[in-house]
A and B are shown apart, each in its own frame.
Chain A
Amino acid sequence: MKYRSVFDIIGPVMIGPSSSHTAGAARIGRVARSLFGREPKWANISLYGSFAKTYKGHGTDVAIVGGLLDFDTDDTRIINALDIANERGMKIQFIEEDAVPDHPNTARVIIGDHNGELELVGISIGGGKIEITELNGFVLKLSGNHPALLVVHNDRFGAIASVANTLAKYEINIGHMEVSRKEVGKMALMTIEVDENVDDQLLEELEQLPNILKVTKIVD
């Protein structure tokens, strides 16, 4: 089941006007920001389907940028996100794509600075709920049924074991796990679905582990 919590239905508290095109869009931006780990200097945002057709009216553009600025869905600064990004020197480009996506509300967000970049594809499935379908070229398969962790790491021995050990220490059970990499010894990604809620302390501890680059929780 895609929706687990009653607060996916009665909620989120958000700035209008659209849960999918505003709140969901803000969440996609914020996950990208969170995975990138810092404020990007530039962002190229491609919008597909209904996102491409109606983003101006729904504030999808300000919402995604608000997310990139780390604003939550109910943060009124979202309304002025484009101005705030401009003041902070973030260069933003929007691209209206004609391609027909699998889901009508799809955004591809490429963000970066002089130290690196990140590419993410997110879909907004309704009521403010989102799914991340692609990260840096890795296709993600998340059921959305359980809290999930994304762990970007160096492809080295022991990295997976150390993450699993830490989860075990917190008595968190792994329900599903996938590891993917593009080249041997380069960047890799663990996608971990767990049964229990994960608190921020655990995320911080995971990030301190050797060869772990970035840890993000994507389903509450």
Chain B
Amino acid sequence: MFRNVAELVELAVSQNKKISEIMIEQEVGVTGRSREEVLSFMDRNLKVMEEAVERGIKGVKSHSGLTGGDAVLLQKYIEKGNFLSGETILDAVSKAVATNEVNAAMGTICATPTAGSAGVVPGTLFAVKKKLNPTREQMVSFLFTAGAFGFVVANNASISGAAGGCQAEVGSAAGMAAAAIVEMAGGTPQQCAEAMAITLKNMLGLVCDPVAGLVEVPCVKRNAMGAANAMVAADMALAGVTSRIPCDEVIEAMYKIGQTMPTALRETAGGGLAATPTGRRLEAKIFGMPLKEK
């Protein structure tokens, strides 16, 4: 069992395998399930992600009314063709938003690694799909690569916003996505690790401050930017840019930052955007009165 990113990359390099393959083999070994079962289970998760994106880009609205409809706006904007950043990146952003809008509306999603950060991995996957034309099998592999990096973060740091802030959720998701994009685009295992490190470095310190405690504001837009961050970091890694701080040390830094983060900024709706005048006003409107004094 690999315990950190260095071991994961070493396993892949020494056996001349992809990261996704190392993850599949470990899953088979740990659970005793057959390879076919493991692959088909992941395929089922992929299907849930596809359905959530499709539903989201058609337009959903959450019960609170705080979120919904932005994925539609973005898709229309892309169609017009006058965008400034880039089609793939905007498509990733809109599909990440789509997934999280469905999540906020209590729709069915696949947590990757959590529900609040469920948009980043599928958003980037379905956007790069247009560019790279992967087979269904390669799309399933994308999720195993993302899972391998998430597995390391979950075991060495945290993927819980209540424990480590948004950096542990959207930060982890973005790093996972960046690594998976690199593998799908033909990068090396080490380049996957570089992409993860570059992404996570740029998400360090991100707090979890949901307005009214709902997984909506700013979560949906954090997924958007997580997807954008992942796309750019993947391109940087593929260009040969490396992280001066090794991936495992970035993960450890993320963990330590999470531990020193005040409770008010760890999914309690006690600080940050949740405690802004508008945040409090929205909270009062949604629940009919303010939540208990934090």
Contact = CB atoms under 8 A, between A and B. Distances in A.
Contact of B213 (A14, A57, A196): A57
Contacts of A56: 213, 287, 291
Given A9-B154, A18-B215, A53-B294, A104 B106 contact: no
Given A10-B45, A10-B150, A49-B162, A16 B105 contact: yes
A141 interface: no
A83 interface: no
B103 interface: yes
A51 to B, nearest CB: 9
A198 B102 CA distance: 35
Interface stretch (A31-39, A124-132, A180-188, A205-213): A124-132
Contact of A16 (B115, B148, B163): B115
A6 B147 contact: yes
Interface in B113-128: 113-116, 118, 121
A67 to B, nearest CB: 16
A9 to B, nearest CB: 4
A15 interface: yes
A17 B104 contact: yes
Interface stretch (A19-27, A113-121, A152-160): A19-27
Contacts of A173: none
- Among the interface residues A19, A56, A59, A79, which one has the most CB atoms of the partner chain B within 10 A? A19
A117 B270 CA distance: 35
A14 B151 contact: no
A136 B125 CA distance: 45
A216 interface: no
Interface of A is mostly: mixed
A21 B212 CA distance: 14
B190 interface: no
Interface in B51-109: 64, 102-109
A54 interface: yes
A56 B147 CA distance: 30
20 contacts: A5-B31, A7-B41, A9-B151, A10-B113, A10-B146, A10-B147, A11-B112, A13-B44, A13-B45, A13-B110, A15-B108, A16-B115, A17-B214, A18-B114, A20-B161, A23-B111, A53-B213, A57-B286, A74-B108, A104-B266
Which 8 A-B residue pairs are closest in the complex by CB-CB distance?
A54-B213, A126-B160, A16-B103, A57-B213, A17-B215, A9-B150, A6-B147, A57-B214
Interface of B: 1, 3, 23, 26-27, 30-33, 41-42, 44-45, 48, 64, 102-116, 118, 121, 143-144, 146-148, 150-151, 154-155, 158-163, 168, 176, 210, 212-216, 263, 266-270, 286-287, 291-292, 294
Interface of A: 1-23, 49-50, 53-59, 74, 76, 79, 96, 103-105, 124-128, 196-197
